[in-house]
Every structure is written in structure tokens, then in C-alpha cells.
Amino acid sequence: MKINKNTVVLIAVAVLLTGSGLYYFLRDVPEPPPTVAEQGAEEGELQFLGTGLSETKDGKIQWEVQADQIQAGLDKKIVTMQGIRAKIYEHTGGQGIIQITANQGRMENTEKVLTLEGNITALSEKGTEFAGNVIKWFMNEQRFTGEGGIRYRQTDVTITGDRMEVEQNLNTVRVTGNARAELRR
């Protein structure tokens, strides 16, 4: 019995495909990383990577915070965040959506206070901007406070100082400690 060259090649290809298929289905594949990462989290804490928080009232989004990393205690009273991108939806006819970025922050859920630190900038849809070294957002009171290197800017004025208090609609601001205003025409 004589086997031709094409038959040998066909048998070799069939053996290779069968072997490859068996390897593919029987190999040990690592599971994908979980959404909740507990590496580095202390006992009694949850750590989330690339996730966010939000609040709605009467069917309208009030605010949303996205972060590269969020860590929360099991009681959820204090949440710490890294790499923050937040949006505050101003529904009272003020400045529209306010977008805020910061290196890190801490949310105290019982008091409803978000404290931001590091490279903080906030910009409204209407162009009002403010920045500082440490900024606190009091959610229930709908106001911000800030300390260190405060800068508040609208199209016709820039105000700088040591401390700031500004209403959430960004229309009323009070700056103290080395306060300076620069008017533009």
C-alpha cells in the first residue's frame, strides 16, 4: 500500500489541529482580575478600581464622582479616592455643570462633605473657574470652601487669596487673607 505525499501532509495537519485544539481547551488559564480588588486594602475595607459614585434627587443627577481608585470602610462612612473627576449638576440656573479634577479626596458620607487635595481645578459650563490647594464641597449646604493658593476667575475678574467661600452656583464668592482682585475690560 502506497501513501502519497498529499495524504501524509493532510494527516500531519489533522494531528496538529487536534493537538492545538486539545491544548487550547485543556490549558490552565488565569481568571480575570476581580472588580473589587482587596490587595493593599486594610482589614474591613473595600477597594474599587476605576469606578464611581453618584446621587440623584427627584430623578435628576445631583453629582457624580469617577475615580481611578476608591477605598471605603465597610460602614461606608468615609470613602477615600485617588485620581478624581467629578461633575456637579447645578439645577438652580447658575453655572450649569461644574467639572472638577483633583489628585485625591475624601468623602464623609454622614456629613456629606467632599474634601479635595492636590492639583484641584473646577470649571463651569459658563467659564467660571476656581482652584486651590484644599477645597471642600459641602453637599447639603451647596457651597465650597478652599484654602491655599485660591484662584476664582470669571471672564472679567480674577480673585486670589488664602481662603475662599463660594456658593455652588458660583455667583457669590468671598475671599479672605491676602485677597486681591484683577478686573479686565
CATH at 176: 2.60.450.10
User: pLDDT tens-digit profile of 1-12?
Assistant: 567 777 777 777
| Domain total of the chain | 1
What lies within 8 Å, CB to CB, of 27 at 6+ separation is none
- Residue 30 falls inside a structural domain: no
User: pLDDT tens-digit profile of 141-170?
Assistant: 989 999 998 999 988 999 999 999 988 888
Q: Which domain holds residue 95?
A: 45-183
- Residue 7 falls inside a structural domain: no
- Residue 1 falls inside a structural domain: no
User: pLDDT tens-digit profile of 68-86?
Assistant: 998 887 777 888 999 999 9
- Residue 92 falls inside a structural domain: yes
- Residue 10 falls inside a structural domain: no
Query: How far is Cα 56 from Cα 64, in angstroms, rounded to an integer?
Result: 9
For residue 72, CA distances in Å to 1, 49, 55, 79, 115 come to 75, 12, 17, 4, 15
Q: Please, which residues bridge with residue 162 across strands?
A: none
- Residue 22 falls inside a structural domain: no
Give backbone dihedrals phi and psi of 120, rounded to 5 degrees, phi first: -85, 130
- Residue 32 falls inside a structural domain: no
Residue 102 pLDDT greater than 50, yes or no: yes
What lies within 8 Å, CB to CB, of 112 at 6+ separation is 138, 139, 140
End-to-end CA distance of the chain: 101
Query: How far is Cα 119 from Cα 146, in angstroms, rounded to an integer?
Result: 13
- Mean pLDDT computed over every residue of the chain: 82
Segment among 38-42, 78-82, 148-152, 171-175 with least mean pLDDT: 38-42
- Which pLDDT does position 54 carry in this prediction? 85
